[in-house]
Amino acid sequence: MTEAEWLACEEPRLMLEFLGERASDRKFRLFGCACCRRLWDLLPSDLNRQAVQAIEEHPDTVSGELYPEGVDSHPVLGEALVASSSREYEWGRDRAYWAVKFLGRSFYKLTPLRGAVVVALQAAAVKGEGGTRAEAAAGQAALLRDIIGNPFRPVALDPAWRTPTVLALAQAAYDDRLLPAGTFDLDRLAVLSDALEDAGCDSADILSHLRGPGPHVRGCWVVDLLLGKG
């Protein structure tokens, strides 16, 4: 895949295949959650929605490292993942249910994370999202570009740009999303871009992304870059 193809691609599976191992597990999980957010009203239960929220809050939890007794011992994530599977006999034929289920299983190494993400984007495409499958795929591709950025043109961050004001605004954008869509507030991102410019940021890639129409979700490459998240 070339840079031009990446920027124009409307087929997220091709983009995922190209990325391979280039992105972190955290990035892939947040993309899977963004796909689940696009079929929020179609998830069979609030238990499934609570599981997505828990994964978004703890996307890089690693069983055996942070929690020696396993993900189940996590005070929030483990409980949410177990509860979301409590009625599998009833929801087992629902693609949206399995999108969340497989993301949860990836924490336990029971399902490969990349495969779980593919299940999530397939579920969102099949379930609709209010348009055609092609429209759904294009929307998912836009989400992936928001989270990954342009892998052909990595952006260097000048530490001087990370002023207290910039960091506070970036953290607020990360924390205070528009729910249930899970997207960032465009006005807040515009203020963040202005603060970056005031701090001396002259990166057209950074500023244009923050001022662009999005969608912008948790995992957005610019906000992650500012907050030091990988």
Tens-place pLDDT, residues 217-227: 999 999 999 99
Residues 91 and 97: beta-carbon distance below 8 Å: yes
Q: Among candidates 169, 178, 182, which has minimal Cα distance to 59?
A: 182
Residue 92 has pLDDT above 70, yes or no: yes
The domain limits of the chain are: 3-148, 159-227
Q: Compute the average pLDDT of residues 133-143.
A: 82
Residues 49 and 91: beta-carbon distance below 8 Å: no
pLDDT of residue 104: 82
Where helices occur in the chain by DSSP H, the ranges are 3-8, 12-19, 25-37, 46-57, 77-84, 88-91, 95-107, 113-127, 133-148, 164-175, 186-198, 204-211, 221-227
pLDDT of residue 62: 57
Whether a cis peptide bond, with omega within 30° of 0, leads into 213 is: no
The DSSP call for residue 24 is -
Tens-place pLDDT, residues 93-110: 888 888 888 888 877 766
Residue 67 — pLDDT band, cuts 50, 70, 90? very low
Rounded-to-integer distance, Cα 38 and Cα 143, Å: 11
Residue 179 — pLDDT band, cuts 50, 70, 90? very high
Q: Compute the average pLDDT of residues 167-189.
A: 96
Residue 68 has pLDDT above 50, yes or no: no
Q: Up-side HSE of residue 40: CA atoms within 13 Å toward CB?
A: 13
| Residue found by looking up tokens 């397939």 in the block | 122
Rounded-to-integer distance, Cα 34 and Cα 38, Å: 7
Burial bucket for residue 186 (CB in 10 Å: 0-12, 13-18, 19+) = middle
